[in-house]
Copies of this chain bind each other. A is one copy, B any other.
Amino acid sequence: MPPAPHSRAPKRKPPSPKPEGEKRPGGIQSIRRACELLEAVARSPDGIGLAELSRSIGLHTSTAFHIAKTLVMLGYLRQMENSRFYRIGRPLFALASAALDEVELISAARPILAELAGATGETSYFGVMSGEKLVVLAKHDGSGAIRINDRIGNVRPLHCTALGKVMLASFPPEQLDAFLQSAQLQVFTRKTIRTAQQLRQEIAEVRRSGIAFDDGEVSEELRCAAVPVTNFTNQIIGSLGISGPSWRLSIQALHKNATALQQAAERLSSQLGARGNHRRVGDPENRQS
């Protein structure tokens, strides 16, 4: 066939100049990219267009397009008719429900969170580990007029949240070392812990006292406290916390609520089969998520 009418001038470079001995994160590339893309879309509650999407994850438009198209075909993404923007597809919700052997955890936690919120007047949280982060599985808003802008399913860093510090304190030494070495301690406020050494001290203190605090380390306006929750294997599987605005919830107030918090955690733990005396964070022999 003669050259196409448009004569596309197929001067062409090889698809990539070969990155030359760069680090290769294992696994199948396209799957990894598809997941990054999904997460980027999930981060955009109002939807996101292809251009911004591909920019945000550092892929060529064309590549991102192919991936997105595949995900749309599978229903994992939806494309809004007018704007062409992408949103998460409903079938993913069904998949997510399978992630919940947590269902039992959540069902157990919910009434206790409600009670704790009632007793303290502050917002209560229950979180577990997910990778190197903490995910909030359930919460209950406090009685006050303000609502903390933090949703179930939100993924939070470990180094600057009370819930996260509890989990860190439950790490076995090697894992903690590994975390402290590799972790990026993202800084949110003046008060955010920013060195591994500081964090190690803080964790030692959490182990000693059995309770973790966050005094304005994520947001200057918030204070939190958290304690561990254990299951029938006596392993720490999550943490329970309360959180409130700094101007109302002083450090002293937090300490006053510590007893209620501890008791709530003990009840939750015992519902999950933990026996006898409540496990303290510092005890040896711990497991990760």
Kindly specify which of A8-16, A152-160, A205-213, A250-258 makes contact with the partner chain.
Answer: A152-160
Provide a sorted-by-A list of 26 A–B residue pairs whose CB atoms are within 8 angstroms: A26-B69, A27-B74, A31-B71, A35-B76, A87-B99, A88-B98, A88-B104, A89-B130, A90-B135, A91-B131, A92-B96, A93-B102, A93-B130, A93-B271, A94-B154, A94-B275, A96-B232, A97-B275, A103-B233, A106-B233, A106-B235, A107-B287, A110-B172, A114-B171, A115-B172, A118-B174
* A175 in contact with B93 (CB, 8 Å): no
Could you mark each residue 35-73 of chain A with 1 if its beta carbon is under 8 Å from any beta carbon of chain B, else 0? 100110111011000000000000000000011011101
- A contact residues, total (Cβ < 8 Å): 85
- Distance of A33 from chain B, by nearest CB (Å): 9
Task: Give A118's nearest chain B residue, CB to CB.
Answer: B178
Q: In the bound complex, what is the Cα–Cα distance between A172 and B267 (angstroms)?
A: 15
Task: Give A45's nearest chain B residue, CB to CB.
Answer: B101
Which residues of A come within 8 Å of B, CB atoms?
Answer: 25-28, 30-32, 34-35, 38-39, 41-43, 45-46, 66-67, 69-71, 73-76, 87-104, 106-108, 110-111, 114-115, 118, 128-131, 135, 137-138, 151-155, 171-175, 178, 231-235, 270-275, 285-289
* A110 in contact with B285 (CB, 8 Å): yes
Task: Give A69's nearest chain B residue, CB to CB.
Answer: B27
Q: In the bound complex, what is the Cα–Cα distance between A97 and B118 (angstroms)?
A: 25
- Distance of A68 from chain B, by nearest CB (Å): 10
Given contacts A94-B155, A114-B172, contact A66 B28 (CB under 8 A): yes
* B93 in contact with A174 (CB, 8 Å): no
